[in-house]
């Protein structure tokens, strides 16, 4: 499926559980297929909570990552701290940075959400993830948020996360949200939280050749 993947997240703290040679082999395999791997943002949030963000950035580079995610969806950061962390990761450690905006705990109002995305990009983030839990109101897509993001930013700057089992959604809801995003933003929209067994299915949906292709 490598032809249809751009990025691969080593989710949460899994990168820290793998033996170094196993992690190195995993990262090499991704790169062999021109897929860019990065550690999940919650791992950096954990490090920040311990006051060890500089150690994390140093060791992530030593482990072979050249891209990281800066999120604050479980450990809230002050805006200035988040921007500084993005700049530091990019300028001092040489990482390509993926920002993330949104909370896993409570809904973020549209205005602050837009402001956070702007700040991530101003600080030097390459692209910004839209947190799946904040993209939904129950089981409904927050269309007003999606439209506001479309109005304010180039879609190339954004990556929309689909809801996964970890936020209590089933496969049916994931496909429904996928198709609604296609209708609002078009089939080329950047998407995340795609499991390995969903990659080819997603590509058929983009091309309208899938079993539940959008109208």
Whether the pTM exceeds 0.85: the reply is yes
Pairing status of strand 191-192 against strand 158-161: parallel
The H or E element that residue 135 is part of is helix 132-135
Structure tokens at 187: 């089939």
Rounded to whole angstroms, what are the CA distances from 59 to 53, 54, 63? Answer: 10, 9, 6
pLDDT in tens, 116-173: 999 999 999 999 999 999 999 888 899 999 999 999 999 999 999 998 776 665 567 7
Place of tokens 């949104």: 102
Q: CB-based contacts of 2: which residues, under 8 Å, 6+ apart? A: 33, 34, 35
The H or E element that residue 39 is part of is strand 36-39
pLDDT in tens, 190-208: 999 999 999 999 999 999 8
Structure tokens at 156: 């190339």
């Amino acid at each position: 499926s490598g032809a249809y993947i751009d990025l691969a997240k080593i989710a949460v703290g899994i990168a820290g559980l793998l033996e170094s040679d196993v992690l190195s082999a995993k990262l090499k395999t991704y790169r062999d297929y021109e897929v860019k791997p990065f550690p999940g943002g919650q791992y950096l949030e954990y490090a920040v909570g311990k006051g060890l963000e500089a150690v994390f950035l140093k060791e992530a580079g030593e482990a072979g990552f050249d891209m990281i995610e800066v999120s604050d969806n479980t450990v809230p950061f002050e805006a200035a701290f988040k921007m500084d962390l993005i700049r530091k990761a990019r300028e001092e450690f040489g990482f390509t940075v993926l920002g993330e905006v949104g909370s896993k705990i409570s809904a973020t109002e549209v205005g602050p959400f837009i402001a956070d995305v702007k700040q991530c990009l101003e600080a030097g983030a390459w692209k910004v993830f839209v947190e799946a839990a904040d993209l939904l109101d129950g089981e409904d897509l927050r269309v007003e948020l999606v439209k506001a993001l479309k109005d304010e930013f180039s879609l190339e700057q954004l990556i929309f996360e689909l809801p996964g089992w970890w936020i209590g959604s089933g496969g049916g809801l994931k496909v429904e949200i996928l198709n609604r995003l296609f209708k609002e933003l078009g089939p080329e929209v950047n998407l995340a939280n795609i499991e390995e067994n969903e990659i080819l299915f997603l590509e058929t949906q983009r091309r309208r050749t899938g079993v539940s292709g959008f109208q």
